[in-house]
């Protein structure tokens, strides 16, 4: 199967109002260009160095999503161009993004990453932490970021019941924040193995890698 046919197959399963981010981490520019030539413009990377290298060498109308765990000392490299940073999981990190966005003279769109899985290893905020950060955003403490929505990763399990429970929990939080705190529009949840379920549970942005580009050749397909 080629990247183009994989991409078309995934797009066929996705309603037009759902954004597909093609997760191109570890994959070469040729693969990305194949999807680009088929008309795709949203791509996701989880390593700052790779994202910067790909941004510099690929067409400038690509919308680059940073989906990994972002270290404070690397924020400055991606803020000048990142379309959306998905993994904001601390106030300290948000503060740094705000500062760098100010320097870069732009407003940086971001998502807050919410911890929804049962695994110990995943990053993210709990409800109270997210609430506190959104309060500060509302108060104008971070004028150079724009809160677009929430992102989450479900437990890596075969149990659809468990995954659906986690996705629905995040959707409820999204609805609550949207109603009572600030208008937000993006709910980023769902990967190759669970994107259809995520959409059923209310996702409107899915991050799909291996279903489009094939399996990756390294341990730890979540990228951590």
Ligand X SMILES: *Cc1c(COP(=O)(O)O)cnc(C)c1O
Cβ atoms 20, 206 nearer than 8 A = yes
Residue nearer to ligand X on the CB measure, 23 or 97: 23
Cα–chain center distance at 68: 8
Pick the closest to residue 207 from 224, 194, 220 (CA basis): 194
Distance CA 76, CA 93 (A): 11
HSE on the CB side for 145, CA within 13 Å? 30
CB of 43 to ligand X, least distance (A): 11
Residue nearer to ligand X on the CB measure, 181 or 214: 214
CB of 85 to ligand X, least distance (A): 12
Chain position whose Cβ is nearest to ligand X: 209
Residue nearer to ligand X on the CB measure, 67 or 130: 67
Residue nearer to ligand X on the CB measure, 94 or 153: 153
Distance CA 91, CA 76 (A): 16
Residue nearer to ligand X on the CB measure, 136 or 222: 222
Give me the residues that bind ligand X (CB under 6 A), please: 23, 25, 46, 67-68, 153, 191-193, 207-211, 221-223
Residue nearer to ligand X on the CB measure, 54 or 211: 211
CB of 46 to ligand X, least distance (A): 5
CB of 3 to ligand X, least distance (A): 13
Count the Cβ atoms, other than its own, within 10 Å of residue 135: 12
CB of 68 to ligand X, least distance (A): 6
63-86 b/e (C-beta count within 10 Å ≥ 16 → b): ebbbbbbbeeebbeebbebbbbbb
Q: Helical H runs in the chain?
A: 3-12, 29-37, 48-57, 75-78, 91-103, 127-138, 160-180, 195-200, 210-213
What DSSP character marks residue 70? P
CB of 205 to ligand X, least distance (A): 10
């Amino acid at each position: 199967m080629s990247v183009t046919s994989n991409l078309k197959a995934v797009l066929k399963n996705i309603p037009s109002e759902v954004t597909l981010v093609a997760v191109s981490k570890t994959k070469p520019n040729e693969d990305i260009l194949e999807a680009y030539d088929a008309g795709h413009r949203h791509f996701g990377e989880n390593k700052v160095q790779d994202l910067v290298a790909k941004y510099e060498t690929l067409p400038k109308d690509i919308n680059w999503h940073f989906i990994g765990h972002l270290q404070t000392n690397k924020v400055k490299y991606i803020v000048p161009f990142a379309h959306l940073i998905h993994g904001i999981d601390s106030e300290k990190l948000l503060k740094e993004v705000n500062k760098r966005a100010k320097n870069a003279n732009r407003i940086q769109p971001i998502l807050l990453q919410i911890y929804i899985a049962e695994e110990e290893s995943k990053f993210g905020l709990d409800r109270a932490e997210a609430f506190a950060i959104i309060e500060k955003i509302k108060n104008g403490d971070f004028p150079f970021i724009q809160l677009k929505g929430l992102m989450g990763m479900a437990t890596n399990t075969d149990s659809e019941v468990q995954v659906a429970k986690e996705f629905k929990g995040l959707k409820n939080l999204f609805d609550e924040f949207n109603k009572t705190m600030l208008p937000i529009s993006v709910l980023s949840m769902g990967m190759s193995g669970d994107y259809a379920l995520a959409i059923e549970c209310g996702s409107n942005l899915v991050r799909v890698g291996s279903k489009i580009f094939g399996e990756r050749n390294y341990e730890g397909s979540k990228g951590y």
